[in-house]
Chains A and B, each alone.
Chain A
Amino acid sequence: MNPPTLLSVEHLTMRFGGLIAVDDVSFSVEQGAIHALIGPNGAGKTTVFNCLTGFYKPTVGRITLHSPESRTPFLLEQMDDYRIVREAKVVRTFQNIRTFPKMSVLENLMVAQHNHLMRASGWTFLGLIGAPSFRHAEAESVERAEYWIGRTGLAEYADTEAGALPYGEQRRLEIARAMCCDPVLLCLDEPAAGLNPSETEELSELIGYIRDHHHISVLLIEHDMSMVMGVSDHIVVLDYGQKIAEGAPETVRNDPAVVQAYLGSDDEDEAGESEDTTS
Chain B
Amino acid sequence: MNSPHAASLRDAALVAGIAGILAFPFVGLLLTTEGTAPTLSTRFPEFAGAVVVIFFGRLGISAARRGHGLLPLVLGLAMAAGGAFSLVVEATGLGASGTAIWHAFVPGTFLSTVACAGGIAIAGLAGRNYLMQGRQPAERTPLPMGQLLLWLGIALAGFAILLPLLPGVDRRLIDVATLVLTYVMLGWGLNIVVGLAGLLDLGYVAFYAVGAYSYALLSVTFGWSFWVCLPVAGALAALFGILLGFPVLRLRGDYLAIVTLGFGEMIRIILLNWYDFTNGPDGITNIGRPSFFGLPFASKPEQGTESFHTFFGVAYDPVHRLIFMYYLILALAFVTNAFTLRIRRLPIGRAWEALREDEIACRSLGVNPRNTKLSAFAIGAMFAGFAGSFFATRQGFVSPESFTFIESAILVAIVVLGGMGSQIGVAVAAIILVGLPEYFRELQEYRMLAFGMGMVLIMLWRPGGLLTHREPTIRTRPAPA
Contacts and interface: CB of A to CB of B under 8 A. Distances in A.
B167 interface: no
A149 B350 CA distance: 18
B476 A159 contact: yes
Contacts of A124: 343, 346-348, 375
Contact of A99 (B342, B350, B353, B361): B361
A151 interface: no
B351 interface: yes
Contacts of B364: 53, 81, 85, 91-94, 98, 178
B34 interface: no
Contacts of B477: 159
Nearest to A113: B347
Contacts of A107: 350, 353, 472-474
A112 B358 CA distance: 13
A111 interface: yes
Contacts of B350: 103, 107, 110-111, 114
Interface string B371-384: 00001000000000
Contact of A85 (B348, B366, B472): B366
A101 B386 CA distance: 34
A100 B346 contact: no
B339 to A, nearest CB: 8
A177 B365 CA distance: 8
Interface stretch (A115-123, A198-206, A219-227, A254-262): A115-123
Tell me which of A53, A107, A108 has the highest count of chain B C-beta atoms within 10 A of its own C-beta: A107
Contacts of B357: 100-103
B347 A121 contact: yes
Nearest to A84: B366
Contacts of B320: none
Nearest to A101: B357
B476 A142 contact: yes
Given A111-B350, A111-B351, A114-B351, A106 B366 contact: no
A111 B365 contact: yes
Interface residues of B, number: 30
Given A103-B357, A110-B347, A128-B342, A159 B365 contact: no
Contact of A118 (B343, B347, B361, B475): B347
A158 interface: yes
B368 interface: yes
Name the prevailing secondary structure of the A interface residues. Answer: helix
A102 B470 contact: yes
Contacts of A138: 474
A264 to B, nearest CB: 33
Given A111-B354, A118-B348, A124-B348, A103 B366 contact: no
A46 interface: no
A232 interface: no
Given A114-B367, A124-B346, A100 B361 contact: yes
A113 B354 CA distance: 12
A117 B361 CA distance: 18
A111 B367 contact: yes
Contacts of B361: 94, 98-100
Contacts of B474: 104, 106-107, 110, 138, 142
Contacts of A253: none
Nearest to A111: B354
A142 B472 CA distance: 14
Contacts of B300: none
Contacts of A102: 353, 357, 470
Interface string B335-351: 00001001100111011
B360 interface: yes
Interface of B: 339, 342-343, 346-348, 350-351, 353-354, 357-358, 360-369, 375, 470, 472-477
Given A82-B362, A127-B343, A128-B346, 15 more contacts: A83-B368, A85-B366, A86-B368, A93-B364, A98-B358, A98-B360, A106-B474, A110-B350, A112-B365, A114-B367, A118-B347, A118-B351, A127-B347, A146-B476, A159-B477
Interface of A: 53, 55, 81-83, 85-86, 91-94, 98-104, 106-108, 110-115, 117-118, 120-121, 123-124, 127-128, 138, 142, 146, 149, 158-159, 177-178, 181
